[in-house]
Structure 1
Amino acid sequence: MIRIKEAILHILDINTNEPIFSYAGLDTSERMMIEYIEAMVAKVEDSDSMKDGILEEDNPMTGLFKNCQSDFVEGTKALSEKFFNVTKLNPEIPPADLLIAHFELDEVPCLGVFKLNYSDSYTHFVSYEGDVLTNQIILNRAILPSQRQAIQEGLVVNLEQMAYHVIEKKHMIAELGEKVNYFTEMFLEDTPKPSLKENISIIKKAVQKTSKAFNDEEFQVLAETKEAIVTSMQEDNLIDNEKIAEALFGDNFAKKQKYFEQVEELGYVDRAPAEAAVAGPKYSKQKFRLDNGIEISIPLELYKDPDVVEFINNPDGTTSVIIKNIEKIKNLF
């Protein structure tokens, strides 16, 4: 349950020399505004790209966030100025507005910071030349995301514990000469834990390296990995790496050891929270792309059913896929 207390929009167009601060908040009694802010919060909280962390007391952002509780307008101006100073020297970071909201999430005071990147869109414009009214078409280069559109950067901070959830995208930083997660590294000055999506990617890479080391068939091991991950998310609401290793390698100590070495080296965070409602639909099918161009999508629960599908290793080293007992075929054109 979200109860919005106050919100404000600051314009941080890097094509201008200075940010354009708002000196008054948005009307949070309007249904449109309430729904828009709720949608922005959901884009952070319901994303499998969401990372979490906790700001220490000596982190400069801790004081800035707390100041927003006592003086919302001035506190958000300080936040926005810091953000603008990071982005204005790096032209590859898209220009945007910064929407900042103070709200309660399940009765916990929170602050949301959402970067609303601009996009181009055409609209009409009514002009007068003398007494002649003319309807024109103009290009507006500062269109904000709709409720349904994704955002690249967003943050929700628990103001009691300074715990935060964040989504972000790497961008080229001129002074560093490389792409970095500037939103956390330069704005928050903190390093969050890997997201659910990143943790799954780490597991995938570790399994690939392990299967290669032991000459296992990669596509089969990865299919079993996906099944083990989904099972862990559904049963435990987290990714339990011990259970995944057990499901994949059983009593094979050598494979387990190799796998655990790889996930540790890649930065995996064990027992990371994983909302099955978020991640489940993305991992409900086994998908394969064959080298002849054919793509196959098999529901997870049918993948191991020998009456439905069978993978056969041929003597010449190739693999055959047999799909069985089909009563009807529908073209999805």
Structure 2
Amino acid sequence: MVIIEKAILHILDFAGGTPVLSAQELELEQGTREFLVKHVEKTIGSQDAKTGKFYESSEFSSHLAAYQEGQASFAEFSQQVANALYQPLSHAEDIECADLFVCQIRVDDTPQLVLFKCTNNHGYVHQVNVAEDGSVVTEVMNSYGLLPNLSQRMEEFAYINLDTKEVLIKAKRYSIDGNKVFVLPELLLECAQSPSPNETIKEISKAVKKVTEAYCQDQVEAAAAVKSYIAENLQPDGQLDPQEVGMAVFKDNPSMQADYRQEMENSGFGEPVVVNQEATLKKMRKHRLSTDTGIELVIPTEFFENTEFVEFYKDDDGFMSITLKNIQNITNK
């Protein structure tokens, strides 16, 4: 359950050269509350978000502690946050005006501080005017301050557990003075980041493909083995150990296991991560194939190695064939 306790909105006006900082919290009427709750529900379980931990020298962490000790009001603390975010972003290339929501919430009784940064959307709205003769005139106008609607996701966000100080972050890179920087975690929060669940799964697939290529093995079969292992062995708590995946996929070849392990360690993805079990299993249960002739297939992972349903083999001329078996009916979609 999500409860919005406090919220405030600041405008990061890079065109005007200064942020527009609110001195008062938002009135949490039904529309505002619904907007914030929906976006919390959409982002807090994001598989693209990374976990983080504050550096000991983090100024943000110090300001947060001062706020929790009552040395600053919520509005004053949020203004500090907005200013600290505005300063580096104002030097970024091609930066667009944005809004910053700072919220204090509870998620299942856990207190959290939430930052939502969203670039202003452009869109068209209607406007009603009254002419000099008193007649009503309607027109279409281009609006430049639209917030993301409820079907969209916030571009960047951070959740800070106010009890444990654990951080969950999704951030974009910006080009500042020729350097690519994750402004939200690196310059505002000043915290370390761990790989996201989605990044880890992608890196597992990438490492398996690289090792398989090096040993001239079947890449399609190896990719299917990754999905099969995850689908069958994902822990109830969602924990996924990348090293165990490699051990299983290359179980008959210690050299390939060692090379895979080295690939994962070199890329910084060697540690276990917690994934969304439902979303991950949904992805792992199907294997998508695309041939060079333009044919695409979606095969349930559980059938991939079952020759009663699907069989792959190479012809004498070097071409590959796929046979689908035991089909009673085919439906157009």
State the TM-score, normalizing by the size of structure 1: 0.93
Q: 1:179 to 1:291 in 2, by over 3 A?
A: farther
* Pairing of 1:68-79 with structure 2 (within 5 A): 68-69=67-68, 70=70, 71-79=73-81
Question: 8 Å contact 1:121–1:140 — kept in the other structure?
Answer: yes
In structure 2, distance between residues paired with 1:95 and 1:317: 56
Residue aligning to 2:242: 241
Bigger CA drift: 186-195 or 153-162? 186-195
Indicate the SS of the match to 2:48. coil
Corresponding residue of 2:26: 26
**How large is the RMSD of aligned CA atoms in angstroms?**
1.8
- 1:277, CA displacement in angstroms? 2.1
SS class of match (1:147): coil
Letter matched to residue 20 of structure 2: I
Q: CA deviation at 1:281?
A: 2.2
| Deviation for aligned residue 1:92 | 2.7
52-61 vs 211-220, which moves further: 52-61
SS of residue paired to 1:191 = strand
- Matching residue's letter, 1:93: I
**Cα shift at 1:162:** 1.3
Aligned residue for 1:324? 325
Greater shift, 234-243 or 250-259, is seen at 234-243
Q: Distance in 2 between matches of 1:192 and 1:72?
A: 26
Q: Counterpart of 2:7?
A: 7
Measured after TM superposition, the shift of residue 236 of structure 1 is 5.3
2:173 aligns with 170
In the other structure, the counterpart of 1:127 is: 129
Deviation at 1:34, TM superposition (A): 2.4
1:149-298 superposed matches below 5 A? 149-171=152-174, 173-175=175-177, 177-235=178-236, 237-298=238-299
Task: Look up the equivalent residue of 1:163 and give its one-letter code.
Answer: E
Equivalent residues of 1:44, 1:166 under 8 A apart: no
TM-score (norm 2): 0.93
Equivalent residue number for residue 37 of structure 2: 38
Query: C-alpha displacement at 1:158, in angstroms?
Result: 0.6
1:32 offset after TM fit, Å?
2.5
Q: How does 1:48-127 map to 2 (within 5 A)?
A: 48-69=47-68, 70=70, 71-127=73-129
SS at match of 1:81: helix
Q: Which amino acid aligns with 1:23?
A: A
What secondary structure sits across from 2:192 in the alignment? Answer: coil
Shift in CA distance, 170/212, structure 1 to aligned 2, threshold 3 Å? same
- Residue 140 of structure 1: SS of its match in structure 2? strand
Cα deviation, residue 86, structure 1: 1.8
Distance 2:8 2:111 in 1: 16
| 1:32-71 Cα deviation digits (max 9, x unpaired) | 2222222222233211101101113431110222344431
Name stretches of at least 5 consecutive residues in structure 1 with no aligned partner.
none
| Distance in 2 of aligned mates of 1:255 and 1:166 | 34
Q: Distance in 2 between matches of 1:325 and 1:129?
A: 73
Query: Aligned AA for 2:25?
Result: G
After TM superposition, the structure 1 stretch with the greater mean CA deviation from structure 2, 261-270 or 296-305, is 296-305
Deviation at 1:178, TM superposition (A): 4.3
1:47–1:278 Cα contact (<8 Å) kept: no
Are the equivalent residues in 2 in contact too, given 1:118–1:143 (CA < 8 A)? yes
* Aligned 8 A contact 1:120 1:139 in 2: yes
Deviations 1:112-146 (A, max 9, x none): 00012211111111223312431111010111001
Tell me: CA distance 1:285–1:180, structure 2 relative to 1, closer, same or farther (3 Å): farther
Corresponding letter in the other structure for 2:51: D
Structure 2 unpaired stretches of 5+ = none
CA–CA distance in 1 between the matches of 2:104 and 2:236? Answer: 35
Once the 2 structures are TM-superposed, how far is the Cα of residue 234 of structure 1 from its aligned partner?
4.9
Q: Distance in 2 between matches of 1:298 and 1:278?
A: 18
2:161 maps to a residue whose letter is N
Q: 2:290 & 2:169 partners in 1: Cα distance?
A: 33
Distance 1:210 1:114, change over 3 A: same
Once residues 178 and 325 of structure 1 are traced to their aligned partners in structure 2, the CA distance between those partners, rounded to angstroms, is: 57
**In the alignment, is the contact (CA less than 8 A) between 2:243 and 2:270 conserved in 1?**
no
C-alpha separation between the residues in 2 aligned to 1:156 and 1:328?
49
CA distance in 2 between counterparts of 1:174 and 1:58 reads 22
> Would you say the 8 A contact 1:66–1:159 is kept in 2?
no
Q: How many residues get paired?
A: 329
How far off is 1:304 after superposition?
A: 2.3
Q: Counterpart of 2:191 in 1: which secondary structure?
A: coil
The CA distance in 2 between the partners of 1:328 and 1:27, in whole Å, is 58
